[in-house]
Chain A
């Protein structure tokens, strides 16, 4: 099967004052369509940098990143933005919903950007996603009227609504209590199972990581372990 995501010899070096910080040191990773991969590791191991590079928000120092057959590292800033629009859905630790828009408005703006200004013609995907995430009755609410767990589910709905090739989730349960964490993780795994959505999720919580089918452990900018979780 062709990989949906592939990195080759990815390095990222930051210059902090006069010191070079090697965030990624020749990282090789491949993810197949339909996989749910969690990336674990201590703070500073380079997992956030990796996620930003995979999403085209950062340009690596060297190496290649191929997403759905397109090499991100050869693209201009505008082309990477466009690839993000077509192929990537982000979920953040802090939800990052637009506070002035209702839940529905947050979904529509994602559709609007994805459709290059045209509203979506087809409501089926939205209805399916909302049903799956149990958000049908929350659409009129503003983010601040929703619980943290509900906000994160809206954010997940926003990421998945345009059927991206990959969802990149950055500590999606980092701001949630254990009950809401469980709900959100359950939603992600249902999206993966029922819609075949490819997900790459960063976490430093082993319980969260265990929800994914495959876990990658990182340390000092490189992969140290890569294994399947037996229970999934």
Chain B
């Protein structure tokens, strides 16, 4: 071992981390908690939205028509759109097909997250989206549903199985592909009956005859049926942050919270440490250690602790993410930018949290510090 590495291993920083295990464990947990918070929350937001967007886009219609105040992505069960809009849309130049969809939102089976049910008119929906029943058959009465392959796999459903919608046990009669919209589909009229919304739906899918002219059709719908929301399906991705109100605020709140948690834990841990080590800091000063040297020793210690916390936090977040995906209806999607953000937040918060104790230590009166019991 060279002189440098042996010094490195034996340095004050590492020996303090080893010699004060309780302090180290508590601070490592604090940082890990922050990292887990960031990764799981952003992963969840991203996963849920992207999953939804993928399925919304899979719907096959270029345009989605709905009333103001209801959104394809928002978790609410509003069926306020009159079905007669469908006839009026069909008459607009450039529109080739329309299909109304009713959407119902219920809590996920584990109580976490939510689950949507689409009420559709099978023939028109299938013709626009290309949806096919790959196993079993199409629903034929109010107590039958079909589900997509993901749902069947995740909830361990097979033909003849039962699924709870509106608190009722409905029978799964078919499995369909590809994924589009909600994962559970039933007859629109059945949904209308359940929700006591005769002749209503949530939105209407509009297929145009020439996809290159979808913007013109959108304009035409807007002028002929003003006061409604006419969205191009391809714009849903870019608009998704806005389509669920407060999602950016939520992500920012999570980030801020985790910075605060991590830096406070490190601040308290390092504050206790420097108080415990007042005399050692006095000795460092008597040896001629400058303020920046002392700040450096304490910051390095905090950063090493933070890095351990970040590594453990990452590991736990990834394992927890896997468990959540398999145990609930929630979808997670990790992205390297958020993982990087979590790492930077963990280490940065550690460095920030240690700053005050470090500066305080560096400014201690050496004579008093040496006399400290």
Contact = CB atoms under 8 A, between A and B. Distances in A.
Given A96-B279, A98-B280, A110 B15 contact: no
Contacts of B7: 108, 112, 119
Contact of A58 (B10, B282, B367): B367
A12 B290 CA distance: 25
Contacts of B282: 96
B19 A82 contact: no
- The secondary structure that dominates the B interface is helix
B286 interface: yes
Across the A-B interface, the 4 shortest Cβ-Cβ residue pairs: A85-B288, A100-B15, A84-B288, A105-B10
28 contacts: A52-B367, A57-B286, A57-B370, A81-B289, A82-B290, A84-B285, A84-B286, A84-B287, A85-B287, A85-B289, A85-B290, A88-B286, A92-B370, A96-B286, A98-B12, A98-B283, A99-B19, A100-B12, A102-B10, A105-B11, A109-B11, A110-B287, A112-B11, A113-B287, A114-B288, A119-B4, A120-B3, A158-B287
B299 to A, nearest CB: 14
B102 interface: no
Interface size class of A (residues with CB under 8 A): 20 to 34
Contacts of B289: 81, 85, 113
Q: Which of A58, A96, A104 has the most CB of B within 10 A?
A: A96
Contacts of B16: 100
A57 B366 contact: yes
Interface of A: 52, 55, 57-58, 78, 81-86, 88, 90, 92, 96, 98-102, 104-105, 108-110, 112-114, 117, 119-120, 158
Contact of B288 (A58, A96, A104, A113): A113
Interface string B251-292: 000000000000000000000000000011011111111110
B250 interface: no
B293 interface: yes
A57 B367 CA distance: 6
